[in-house]
A and B are shown apart, each in its own frame.
Chain A
């Protein structure tokens, strides 16, 4: 009798232990399957969300050209179909990697996209769209986090071989491959300063300069060159890229263009000392012009609307007004501002600002940081932004999912 009881107890204990172990094993398999299912759903959601963003222009369709906040979020160029994006809608996205700039004379913070000295895009936060607003309009706020990046497909690198006489090398490459025998159009803006006046410039343009089998092209210029900027467009097999280079004789103080109002196209010209400070503040005079890329890949100078505003002097410190210029075109282009120290015409330089993010092939990162998220789904599309080839990549992660790690 006792033996039977012990046998019974032992068998029950073994049975319970075995059941627990098997439940654990099955549970683990099921848990993994559920996780896989959720990850698959996330990947599908990522692909759908990316297409939602890229294949509709939002509402109103031309919100990128105005200061109004969209009521539906989308980046497609309303004048085209498929994966062609509006360079102006992209310009209104709040960059998530640049350090915000504060300009005390307007009392505003600016979203900062800077790719190098003298190549910047500063958009006031009250005109920019932040990722939270975009997520709300996409219907994923609180459910998913995202990071949307736009990277130019073609890299055009411009470097100075020698200054006098000027020789510049342009290198065109994709991801690891040089673009042999591609065509280059370029525009050299050279300051020719005269004492006591505003800085002036001349523009040298040429198109259809081929690269060699290494994707390199050498450009030579005769005559006196001061501070200059060179903008080069390269195009081959449907892919268009752009690169810029500035040679600056003076960088203590310089002109900083700031977007003021998308509706009116007003830009502010600020003295750099008022934004980033510096050791030797000085007033600077400036002369602004605008160049745009035509459909045949040539660069065309376009007059600014108000001829009297294109030149001026901006001083540093409180009480000194900033300059205002107006860009009155819906076509992407580059605002070129030549500047010089107001009391020394040899101290000069040139700064560039894209009007439409594609005109200088600015990269853009919009959204939150995907680092340290447990599972991030990504998807990629090739897109065209104002004729410039970009790669659009969306990283998406769940904010409320199973086993989410914060």
Chain B
């Protein structure tokens, strides 16, 4: 009797096994360990469009021979056991059918149940998509850009250029990022003196302005200021510039070398020359010290020298490289730094290096080859100073990159809303063969 019961149990368990086996269907090995077809399709589309070849073909008539080339190119990209179907859709914006198939090429009738797809929106080469930058100052700080373009001054360490050509180039570089009336070239030292006295040139806002000194290691000095602030070989003038930067919340930008090493005014310093450049007067390394003391609102004393370091090749930081792509400014990745500032100035003058242009040199980790410094007055920012302690010849793209990285104007890209300017390309892949 028990044997019969056991046999019944066995029948029940067998039934359970058969029923559970029926539900526990294991997938085919090919489905267990599949090739990522979606990624393969995506990378194939990207490769085919790497020189805009796919975009060009997508806008060709359906009977154009370029489709044959595209077919051969797709076949070349895919392994032999991968089948495909590429369909190009016209993107309609009139509200009815959004995507209308235009052309389809395939090397198989049916992709089977195991397939995956990726898509890419390609644009017609006949259409230009604009990028409109936000204007600096629209969100608060800044708004006025002063570029020193003084005809009565001479530059130093800008070999191969003149301050005037650099000023024009900077004007062109920055024109998309400022209101046209807010870019002001200070064409002589008299105009510079006017701004330093707080009188606008054309009704602009002086507070929060950016001042770019295109004269390299020299800084133009108005005659009135040269008469008034001549102590310590005009280091007192540099102090005044620092103090003005503090109270007007300026961003003072030096494009190359040791800033404030000379002052220049070809009328005031007629017949005086440094290294063969007439109209210049050497201040020395104490010029920078005086500027920083003025920026930090310390009392004026006869300043000591700010020592710099020659550290050789430096490389742009990864953030700067990303910003190069963002703003379309491409200076050389490697630069030579011969006037790097010690980071001891940070604590000494309440500075914070907000934009570091270069990775620190492993040999001189305590020196800063180029940075935009914020001066902190309590918890708030009061004045900024861009120093590029690089060797001549200057690359003003670095100045532009540093300032744009700091003010970070947004870029508004035009939308693809013009009719028949976009086509959707869908590449669907399937796998054949094997088990």
- CB <8 Å contact, A382 and B40: yes
Q: Which residues of A contact B72 (CB under 8 A)?
A: 174, 177-180, 236-237
- CA separation between A384 and B45, bound complex, in Å? 12
- Interface readout for B289-322 with A: 1 if CB under 8 Å, 0 if not? 0000000000000000000000000010010010
> Would you call A237 and B70 a contact (CB within 8 A)?
yes
Known: A29-B24, A33-B26, A180-B68. A383 touches B43 (CB 8 A): yes
B39 touching A175 by the CB < 8 A rule? no
Interface-facing stretch out of B74-82, B88-96, B387-395: B74-82
Chain A residues within 8 Å of B128, by CB? none
Contact A381 B40 (CB under 8 A): yes
- Complex Cα gap A40–B31 (Å): 8
Q: In the assembly, what is the distance between CA of A382 and CA of B21, in Å?
A: 41
Q: Is the CB of A175 within 8 A of B9?
A: no
**Given A175-B76, A179-B69, CB of A377 within 8 Å of CB of B33:** yes
Bound Cα distance A178, B1 (Å)? 79
A83 partner, pick from B46, B73, B315, beta carbons under 8 A: B46
Is the beta-carbon distance between B26 and A36 smaller than 8 angstroms? yes
CB contacts between A and B, total, < 8 Å: 151
Q: B76, A177: Cβ atoms under 8 Å?
A: yes
Q: Does A105 contact B (CB under 8 A)?
A: no
**Chain A CB within 10 A, most for which of B5, B26, B36, B66:** B36
- Chain B interface bracket (under 10, 10 to 19, 20 to 34, 35 or more): 35 or more
Nearest B residue to A384, CB-CB: B50
Q: Mark B1-14, 1 if CB is under 8 A from A, else 0.
A: 11101110110011
Contacts of A18 in B (CB 8 A): 6, 9-10, 13
Residues of chain A contacted by B50 (CB below 8 angstroms): 238, 384, 387, 389
Stretch at the interface among B51-59, B200-208, B232-240: B51-59
Chain A: residues with Cβ within 8 Å of the partner, total of 57
B47–A383 contact, CB under 8 A?
Answer: yes
Bound: A348/B7 CA distance, A: 90
Inter-subunit contact B80/A10 (CB<8 Å): no
The answer to whether A174 and B69 touch across the interface, beta carbons within 8 angstroms, is no
The answer, yes or no, to whether B27 is at the interface (CB within 8 Å) is: yes
Q: How far is the CB of B401 from chain A (nearest CB, A)?
A: 15
| Residues 35-86 (chain A) with a chain B CB within 8 angstroms | 36, 39-40, 42-43, 47, 51, 61-62, 78-79, 82-83
Q: Which residues of A contact B36 (CB under 8 A)?
A: 47, 379
Does B152 touch A at the CB level, under 8 Å? no
Contact across chains for B40 and A239 when beta carbons are under 8 A apart? no
* Known A-B contacts A174-B75, A236-B69; A26 and B7 likewise in contact (beta carbons under 8 Å): no
Contact A379 B17 (CB under 8 A): no
Q: Which of B10, B29, B70 has the most CB of A within 10 A?
A: B10
Q: Which residues of B contact A169 (CB under 8 A)?
A: none
User: A26-B17, A384-B50 in contact; A177/B75 too (CB < 8 A)?
Assistant: yes
What is the minimal beta-carbon distance from A207 to any residue of chain B, in angstroms? 14
B49 proximal to A (CB < 8 A): yes
Query: Contacts of A236 on B, CB cut-off 8 Å?
Result: 53, 69, 72-73
Q: Is A22 an interface residue (CB 8 A)?
A: yes
Inside 8 A of A61's CB, which chain B residues have their CB?
A: 318, 321
Q: A22-B13, A239-B47, A381-B43 are in contact. Are A153 and B33 (CB under 8 A)?
A: no
Task: Tell me if A373 counts as interface (CB < 8 A to partner B).
Answer: no
Residues from chain A with a CB closer than 8 A to the CB of B5 are: 11
Chain B nearest CB from A386 CB (Å) reads 11
User: A43 touches which one: B32, B46, B47, B76 (CB < 8 A)?
Assistant: B32
> Which residue of A has the minimal Cβ distance to B359?
A60
Q: A29-B21, A238-B51, A383-B43 are in contact. Are A181 and B76 (CB under 8 A)?
A: no
Residues in A neighbouring B52, C-beta threshold 8 A: 238
Identify the B interface with A (CB < 8 A).
Answer: 1-3, 5-7, 9-10, 13-14, 17, 21, 24, 26-27, 29, 32-36, 39-40, 43-44, 46-54, 57, 65-66, 68-70, 72-73, 75-80, 315, 318, 321, 333
The 6 A-B pairs of least Cβ separation, nearest first, read: A174-B76, A11-B2, A237-B73, A382-B43, A238-B53, A237-B53
